[in-house]
Structure 1
Amino acid sequence: MIAPAASTFRKSHLARTAALLLLLASVAGCASTKRDVATTGSIPKVSTASLQGMNAVELANAERSIGAAYARDPKNRDIGLQYANVLGMTGKNSQALAVMQQVAIAHPADRDVLAAYGKAQAAAGQLEQALTTISRAQTPDHPDWRLYSAEGAVLDQLGRSNEARQKYRMALDAQPNEPSIMSNLGMSYVLSGDLKTAETYMRNAAGQPGADSRVRQNLALVVGLQGRFSEAEDIARKELSQQQADANVTYLRSMLSQQNSWSKLADKDGKAKQSTN
């Protein structure tokens, strides 16, 4: 049975935010399959993983540096992908979409470009267009599991959960035990309010050798939504700097406070602890 606070969460802003985070995590890998760093010009070699670990000041510096390289060579595929990525990470979704439109015009048949273009469309709220673009990037004779997972993420945002989970399972057939896919599948159950099933998938994902911090942060989210905040904070603080961990915990608290549920779940967590002592 879903706790009242978790049920309230299901239709809240947090659910929509979780869906977007799910999408960004799933599509991010598409543009880094072969060339995750820029290879031309004076752009610094910054990988997606490195960007994920940057604080706000570092991201702003990266945005300026990569933006300057993009201004010099706007048709450069790798620079465009990186610039759109960092713009999305700093919340400039409309600008990221504009960049990817230009890159897609210059590279209309590039699968990685189409995937990143679909990501930018989804982040800007153009979900149906994103689904079409990502589908265009897929090739039936040589399917990409990342694109299946990305399709699933968009379908989840459109409320088509059964179709979304079918795509995730297709992705898992192509790439068994891939933690990002299992995490996305778990987030699909979060969006439908089934937190217990979501946690099962999340724990499986987090236990895989290739799991990164984003997968573990999704697990922390699911655990926190069930009222086990001490455990959620412990998970959130692993593998992150103190500043990043504090930011993640603060963000989780702020989202839940919008539904006035943080204090209720924290009280529940405290009482549960007392009953076990």
Structure 2
Amino acid sequence: MEQAGKLRTGYRAAKAGRIAMAALAVVLTAGCNSTRQQTSTNSSATAAYVQPGSAEAMREVSAWSSAYQRSPDDRQVIIGFANALRRNGQAEQAMAVLRTAIIKHGSDREIASAYGKILAMNGNLQEALNVLQNAQTPATPDWRLLSAEGAVHDQMGNPQRARALYNQALKIVPEEPTVLNNLGLSFLLAGQAPDAEYYLRRAAASPRADSRIRQNLALALGLQGKFAEAQQVALNELDPQQAEANIAYLRAVLAAQNPRQGKPQRQG
């Protein structure tokens, strides 16, 4: 009986994780299309989304391309250009820019972190892991590399290792919103929405939190049936129609997950 209970619990967590992944894809797509925040050309990890192929995305690429032609060895220009290319859907070119940079600046942790991230985004997980680990210095670890490596482990199905790396990063930069966001997503994708909510609330409380973090919080709330609060958070980030569509989608997936439980209880 105990073994059967464990199997049922594992099945529910796996199912919740699959639902979270599907819902997360919807939220991130909405963020790409409808976020209200303005976008700058800085290379910050918390830069808002732009629609690939849009005039704004093309302006970013053009501006960073000109800067790159003038200063091809400048670290911030390299990373800024690669980020602009990635945000415009030009992942292959972004990888090429960073691959060239990593050959020239093999010990540069920030470039290695950016290269590892884009490798992982394109499914090259083992290569990403190798790049990130080779750039790391165990005696003086870089928190960005730790967080990026954690994200790769999450994608490889190693959440415990991923969370250990996130927590190690948080010892270096307490309450860093990008690390808390990754930690929250680790729990969310494992079907542990309450734990995800805890970390995403902490991330969203930071003045440096971006639209993606708050949309992830809205998702964690919605997956628990806290629709009123989820919609309030989403309304601050998305157009009203898109926010309502996201909440309607979450209601539908939860109803499909729990058909015998009826409609989830409204919160607030």
Provide the TM-score with structure 1 as the length reference. Answer: 0.72
Mind listing any 5+ residue stretches in structure 1 that lack a counterpart? 22-43
Residue of structure 1 in register with 2:42 after alignment = 46
Distance 1:208 1:61, change over 3 A: closer
Residue of structure 2 in register with 1:183 after alignment = 181
Distance 1:224 1:12, change over 3 A: closer
Tell me the amino acid that sits aligned with residue 243 of structure 2: V
Tell me the amino acid that sits aligned with residue 181 of structure 2: S
Which of 210, 215, 228 matches 2:226? 228
Deviations along 1:54-74, whole A, 9 cap, x unmatched? Answer: 564312211122234435554
Is this contact kept in 1: 2:181–2:200, CA < 8 A?
yes
Distance in 2, Cα, partners of 1:90 & 1:80: 16
Residue of structure 1 in register with 2:265 after alignment = 272
Within 5 A, what are the aligned runs for 1:1-277? 8=15, 10-11=17-18, 14=21, 46-48=42-44, 51-52=47-48, 54=50, 56-71=54-69, 73-238=71-236, 240=237, 244-245=238-239, 249=243, 252=246, 256=249, 261=253, 272-273=265-266
Q: Secondary structure at the match of 2:231?
A: helix
Distance 1:16 1:147, change over 3 A: farther
Deviations along 1:170-221, whole A, 9 cap, x unmatched? Answer: 1122222223222211111111111122112222332345434332221112
Distance in 2, Cα, partners of 1:16 & 1:264: 13
| Aligned-residue identity in percent | 37
Distance in 1, Cα, partners of 2:61 & 2:15: 37
Is this contact kept in 1: 2:147–2:179, CA < 8 A?
yes
Q: Secondary structure at the match of 1:197?
A: helix
Deviations along 1:210-233, whole A, 9 cap, x unmatched? Answer: 434332221112112223333222
Task: Report the Cα offset of residue 134 of structure 1.
Answer: 1.2
Tell me the amino acid that sits aligned with residue 60 of structure 2: A
Provide the TM-score with structure 2 as the length reference. Answer: 0.74
Aligned residues: 243
Tell me the amino acid that sits aligned with residue 216 of structure 1: R
Is this contact kept in 2: 1:80–1:103, CA < 8 A?
yes
Distance 1:165 1:95, change over 3 A: same
Deviations along 1:224-273, whole A, 9 cap, x unmatched? Answer: 222333322211232x4xxx54596388469x58x9627769x9997634
Distance 1:141 1:88, change over 3 A: same
Task: Report the Cα offset of residue 92 of structure 1.
Answer: 2.3
Mind listing any 5+ residue stretches in structure 2 that lack a counterpart? 1-7, 29-39
Task: Report the Cα offset of residue 5 of structure 1.
Answer: 9.7
Moved more, 108-117 or 177-186: 177-186
How big is the alpha-carbon RMSD for the aligned residues of Structure 1 and Structure 2? 3.7
Is this contact kept in 1: 2:227–2:247, CA < 8 A?
no
Is this contact kept in 1: 2:43–2:83, CA < 8 A?
no
